[in-house]
Chain A
Amino acid sequence: MTAAPEQIDVLDEAREQVLERGVGLTEAQVLKVLELPEDRIPELLALAHEVRERWCGPEVEVEGIVSLKTGGCPEDCHFCSQSGQFPSPVRSAWLDIPGLVRAARQTRDTGATEFCIVAAVRGPDKRLLSQVRDGIKAIRADGNDIQIACSLGMLTQEQVDELVAMGVHRYNHNLETARSHFPEVVTTHSWEERWDTLRMIRDAGMEVCCGGIIGMGETLAQRAEFAVQLAELEPDEVPLNFLIPNPGTPYENYPVVEGAEALRTVGAFRLALPRTILRFAGGRELTFGDLGAKQGMLGGINAIIVGNYLTNLGRPAQQDLDMLEELSMPIKALSQTL
């Protein structure tokens, strides 16, 4: 008779592997973390926070975002109220250049170092790129030196090169979910097409911002798969969104991700991505409330979007800035990003 092999606790493994050596968890390990009982969540979050402090430092990166072109998107991303394929109440709108300059100024005034210009499109056409170019020039002419990121869908190599020439330093393009779950979420383009754009961005020297949305019907195993696929990409930033079931979308009746499950996800993603900027993004207001947001900041998150999102509203920026002060978390300064 042989003795049963000793069960190694996944958080003990993570302490040695991730905290001490900076090596992210494997898919099987991430799944174990996602399956931890609720009474072990505080322990998970404490470890994730230690990992974040060890490998990323104490600073929090603050960002604001704005929608330059809202609604009317030809793609069918099932979570998105801006798709033209669903009966969403969101109507098409374009933000003009003075509006864009004001939004960048509002963002800078919060102390943010990042401003992301977003458009609901499959990919940018000449008109949109021209608007982005003019917008960036106008933001600079306003004396605003905030770092500018863009999120304009799938790109060609020529468009990547144009954005580099405009001085865009980071590009957001979310993989949204695990490769195995993506066809359930989007049918008008593939996960691989998104991946190709991300490789071009990386190869062109732009920072890669790539995350997704939790709570779109994926299994825990697919959530673990997604974390590891993101780690394989080695993005500079991962924005973590929680599904907002928006009216008119196919996911309008999906449940909001429950707080404990969301915190487990935050901790697990930090342990899979020890050196990456992990950003609280959309949906945290519904999923966490005020208390949960603090727990997340003390559980591996080191960046936030302040103020409103693209079509949904966030907490007032000052509320988040006050929270960071209360947690004694310094905001990353622009000088540290240049």
Chain B
Amino acid sequence: MQKKMNKDIYTKPLFKNNPITVLVLGICSSLAVTVQLKGALVMALSVTLVTAFSSLIISLMRNSIPNRVRIIVQLVVVAMFVILIDQVLKAFSYDTSKMLSVYIGLIITNCIIMGRIEAFALGNRPWPSFVDGAFNGLGYGLVLAIVAFFRELLGSGTLFGFQIIPQTWYIENGGWYSNNGLMILPPMALILLGCVVWVQRSIDKEIEE
């Protein structure tokens, strides 16, 4: 029984119970930070760290938290981790912090974190809570990476800032190719996200309502 539960914690958030495509949580930031792959991965890592560690801390505190103020207590813990990440990025990765601007601070409003704390960490032991938080963050990151891959490749012709589409293909250089400006804009992220959901549901019919 114990073993079965643990395996579910690892695999479910990545596919069957993915926070973005199945639970439809954390959509807002996945539209905003997926213009470039690097930004998306830093965002995914930040969200993973915040969900994992706030789940861990809340799970450790779960028997002592006064029930009437539990949401406030959760918010204080989550906010602390978000500010820590923001400060560390500003000190050690200034360019990324500039690129993600307000979205790091807005991690606190990401429904995945509060959702996992309420649904899992409050009723489970610290270690499973930590793993659950971490893998939900990774499930979020996986979708972000897929969307950002297509947006950066088709919108800017680059991946991680390196030119992938050969310069000679471009119309300016006498070729036939042009970057798709729509890819840069948030609506395209929503359409791509829709495609991801579509592909996932056609692979696994069980997820369909």
Answer whether A and B are interacting partners: no
